[in-house]
Amino acid sequence: MTAKSKLAQKRLIWLQLAEKPGNVSKACQMHKVSRSQFYEYKRAFQLHGIDGLIASPRYRERAPTN
């Protein structure tokens, strides 16, 4: 298992924990992650499954200029 897939698994477990009624704030505090980051992970998981939770660069690659 690669480091990226381990991170994705960790995020999936965290999402499942946070989905319990009333636990989103508590799970975010426990994992030191903002609520907005939680909802970004949740959306990525809904759209792309476990692959959506794999870390990706925070910036977009720029097209080379000539």
Domain positions in the chain: 3-53
Average pLDDT over residues 35-42: 88
Q: Please, are residues 4 and 54 in contact by the beta-carbon 8 Å criterion?
A: yes
Kindly tell me if the per-residue pLDDT of 54 is higher than 80.
yes
Q: Is the pLDDT higher at 41 or at 65?
A: 41
Instruction: State residue 5's pLDDT score.
Output: 84
Q: 50 CB contacts (<8 Å, ≥6 apart)?
A: 5, 8, 9, 12
Residues in the chain: 66
The H or E element containing residue 12 is helix 3-18
What's the pTM value of the predicted model, to 2 decimals? 0.65
